[in-house]
Structure 1
Amino acid sequence: MSSVRLRPPAQRGEPRAELHDRHEDGHRLHHLLWRLGPGFRVCSSAVLGGGIGPRAWVLNAQVPGGYPRLDPDRHLAEIAAAEGLTGEGAGLMTAAEVAAYTSAHDGGVTATVTTGLGVRGWAAAPETGRRSGEAPADVPAAPFRPGTVNIVVAVPVPLSDAALVNAVATATEAKVQALLDAGLDCSGTPTDAVCVIAPEPGTEGGEPFAGPRSTWGARIARAVHGAALAGARPAR
């Protein structure tokens, strides 16, 4: 059984996040849910429903620290089914406290960010000769520290395929800028994900650009920067 906290009323058709909680294996966990319905598509790096295509919902789910399951896509589908969601959706996952999400708005764009920066670093790290996240045998395991910065951006206008991909890049650039502005020496965590929601394009194909100096890209960048900065500051 889950409870829900709704954000203030949105304009008709605008995707907005709902905060739910659930109980799994003795843990009280939270997830954010966007009910999109028909007429929207998503571009994302989500573990469930990633890529570009029509999506009926987006889910950003908290999981316990030291997550033991090897089937996150199936787990997310189970959470979605428990919420009564149907159709194809996109699902993201994080060990960070989802209830501590931050959001920011700019010119009709809304960015919602869940921030876990316990395991962070630079994207271009030296080759270690080991699998990602694997510690040397003679080094004690470090205490678990939640990682993962998940970004969900809702844009009110249709975007072309190229602009959707560009929007993901713009959101990532804005996230890194926010981390640096927060005084953190990193570009993110190894498991960060981005999800961009926009209406399906009509015959005109949607806005062609979403780089940081385009109209909608600039709004995406400012919204993501504001939300990510607010989430990152407590991690200093």
Structure 2
Amino acid sequence: MERLWHVEDGIRLPALVWRAGDGWRMASSAVLGGGIGERAWVLNAQVPHGYRRTDPARHLAALAHRAGARGAGVGLMTAADVTRCAHAADGGVEAAVTVGLGVSTWAASPEDGEAGPPPAGTINIVVAVPAALTDAALVNAVATATEAKVQALLEAGHDCSGTPTDAVCVAARVPRPGEEPHAFAGPRSPWGARLARAVHRAVLAGAAAEPGRR
């Protein structure tokens, strides 16, 4: 990933850009470019703590444009230090994870969520799979990445399943002519198992290096 810089509220902050290029389909929960479709880049931008803008998608699109990213892409944001991005690979699958646990929680909480735009997310997972996956398998891969994240957080000693605004982006190759995409990406499927191991190692490294609650 390429590191770039931007200024927000007078603070110089980093952003990470993966220029994937053509030939990739991505499934993401990101505020910009979420859903499933062909995407050419991924931006993971650090924003100030207490981020209050109500147009995060527009903000991310502007940052991506300034970075020279063209076409459709995925934009994520976080208050975590993206220069501490943790990387891991397994059998061709590559994972890049930024971890910040200042607002950690369990997914199933008795408290209702707050209305309105959420604060900047703190754990962002980006995974590249060098194989073609069906839409269902892409969704399956997002679930597998999330399972691996929770496993790593627990192993790192964190009493949580993540933060309220974590985001995931899984990229897979566009099928070649006549190629049959893989229909499964669960943790015991060939590509899902590799994805799970890569994400697990990256989140474990990022969580272990987390300097404390922000």
TM-score by length of 1: 0.84
1-side partners of 2:109 and 2:165: how far apart? 14
Picking from 107, 116, 124, the partner of 2:100 is 116
The structure with higher relative contact order (CA 8 Å, sep 6+) is 2
1:173-202 CA deviation, whole Å, 9 max, x = no partner? 000000000011100000000000111123
What pairs with 1:118-133 in structure 2 (closer than 5 Å)? 118-128=102-112, 131=114
What pairs with 1:161-180 in structure 2 (closer than 5 Å)? 161-180=135-154
Picking from 46, 63, 85, the partner of 1:79 is 63
Amino acid at match of 2:170: V
Q: Is the 8 A contact 1:92 1:150 kept in 2?
A: yes
What pairs with 1:7-22 in structure 2 (closer than 5 Å)? 17-22=1-6
TM-score by length of 2: 0.92
The alignment status of 1:149 with 2:123, answered yes or no, reads yes
What pairs with 1:49-60 in structure 2 (closer than 5 Å)? 49-60=33-44
Moved more, 18-27 or 213-222: 18-27
Unaligned regions of 5+ residues in structure 1, if any?
1-16, 134-143
Amino acid at match of 1:209: F
Unaligned regions of 5+ residues in structure 2, if any?
none
Deviation >4 Å, runs of 4+:
none
What pairs with 1:216-231 in structure 2 (closer than 5 Å)? 216-231=191-206
2-side partners of 1:40 and 1:72: how far apart? 24
Percentage of pairs with the same residue: 66
C-alpha displacement of 1:83: 1.0
Q: Is the 8 A contact 2:32 2:57 kept in 1?
A: yes
The alignment status of 1:196 with 2:170, answered yes or no, reads yes
2-side partners of 1:59 and 1:105: how far apart? 20
1-side partners of 2:67 and 2:111: how far apart? 42
- Partner residue in 2 for 1:102: 86
Q: Is the 8 A contact 1:118 1:147 kept in 2?
A: no
Amino acid at match of 1:175: K
The alignment status of 1:182 with 2:165, answered yes or no, reads no
1:130-170 CA deviation, whole Å, 9 max, x = no partner? 6269xxxxxxxxxx9x8610000011111111111110000
C-alpha displacement of 1:233: 1.2
2-side partners of 1:147 and 1:233: how far apart? 18
RMSD, matched Cα: 1.7
SS in 2 for 1:228: helix
2-side partners of 1:218 and 1:78: how far apart? 36
Bigger radius of gyration among the two = 1
1-side partners of 2:160 and 2:7: how far apart? 33
C-alpha displacement of 1:221: 0.3
